[in-house]
Amino acid sequence: MKMEIYDDGIRLSAVLERPNQGRSPLVIFLHGFTSSKDRPHNIASCEAMREVGFATLRFDLYGHGESGGEFRRHTLFKWISNTMVVIDYVRGLDFVTDIYLSGHSQGGLVAALVAGMEADRIGGLILRAPAFMIPRCAREGNMLGRGFDPRHIPDEVQVIKGLTLDSDYIRVAQTIHVDDFIERFAGSVLLIHGDADDTVPIQESIRAARMYPKCRLEILPGETHHFDQNPERMKAVIRDWLS
């Protein structure tokens, strides 16, 4: 079921899908940087969740996909706000028993940040190649291979595919210290990472797995950042963990 959820006037395009008409847990899914809720690997991960009885709600975040806002003006703070609004919406659904968060890349980072902020409301985390390094890279002056002076941030930074980001993206990211949020979440976590990922270093997930008290780390041989080599293997890992 397609729907719209609003965050302070910004329209968020969402798709809610249920495995049946009974009560069930629900997973909120967050896509990555320059991606959308409708990328094949994102749809596949949500399919795996429904196959073991979990409802899913995947949505386009600020400046991406079919949602409102300009890409260049999105920040981690805006994505955090979007996610918290969606959590509030899901809490009002009478069929939902528990809420989980899942995310890929930058969406995985934001899911982890929000889980630390709302640890009492989140039953578990499913993170695929979470981009935990973004805030650190912003502080060091390197964003997707583009260097800049982190103490004198330019008004805009060019990123992949000819897209640009306003300086607010960098300024916001510099203030976030991911470890603080990881330490606040004591629930169960599934981390999935491909060892052929050339976008997010696999060490980011290895390090996080050591910090989370209840974490299962699955390293998929030959898998890329977008899990497009063997989607069924990724789906099997998700089904097994949720089961």
Report residue 146's pLDDT band, with 50, 70 and 90 as the boundaries.
confident
- pLDDT greater than 90 at residue 161: no
- pLDDT greater than 90 at residue 212: yes
Report residue 176's pLDDT band, with 50, 70 and 90 as the boundaries.
very high
- pLDDT greater than 90 at residue 221: yes
Quick check: 56 and 26 in contact, CB under 8 A? yes
**Residue with the two structure tokens 């609003």:** 6
> Is the domain defined by 2-139+176-242 classed in CATH 3.40.50.1820?
yes
Report residue 158's pLDDT band, with 50, 70 and 90 as the boundaries.
confident
Quick check: 102 and 126 in contact, CB under 8 A? yes
Residue 45, Cβ density class (10 Å: 0-12 exposed, 13-18 middle, ≥19 buried): buried
Report residue 25's pLDDT band, with 50, 70 and 90 as the boundaries.
very high
- pLDDT greater than 80 at residue 235: yes
Compute CA 213 distance to the chain's CA centroid, rounded to the nearest angstrom.
20
pLDDT for the residue numbered 152: 95
pLDDT for the residue numbered 45: 98
CA 239 – CA 85 distance, rounded (Å): 27
Quick check: 191 and 123 in contact, CB under 8 A? no
Nearest partner of 243 among 63, 79, 50, judged by Cα? 50
User: pTM above the 0.95 mark?
Assistant: yes
**Residue with the two structure tokens 């600020």:** 62
Please state the domain extents for the chain.
2-139+176-242
In one-letter notation, the amino acid at residue 22 is G
Average pLDDT, rounded, for the chain: 97
Long-range contacts of the stretch 17-22 (C-beta < 8 A, 24+): 17/46, 17/50, 17/55, 17/56, 17/57, 18/50, 18/55, 18/95, 19/50, 19/51, 19/53, 19/54, 19/55, 20/53, 21/95, 22/95
In one-letter notation, the amino acid at residue 189 is V
pLDDT for the residue numbered 96: 98
Sign of the CA dihedral 13, 15, 21, 24?
negative
CA 139 – CA 90 distance, rounded (Å): 34
pLDDT for the residue numbered 181: 98
Quick check: 144 and 134 in contact, CB under 8 A? no
pLDDT for the residue numbered 103: 98
Average pLDDT estimate for 153-175: 91
Average pLDDT estimate for 4-22: 97
Q: Write out pLDDT tens, residues 181-200.
A: 999 999 999 999 999 999 99
pLDDT for the residue numbered 143: 85
Average pLDDT estimate for 208-221: 98
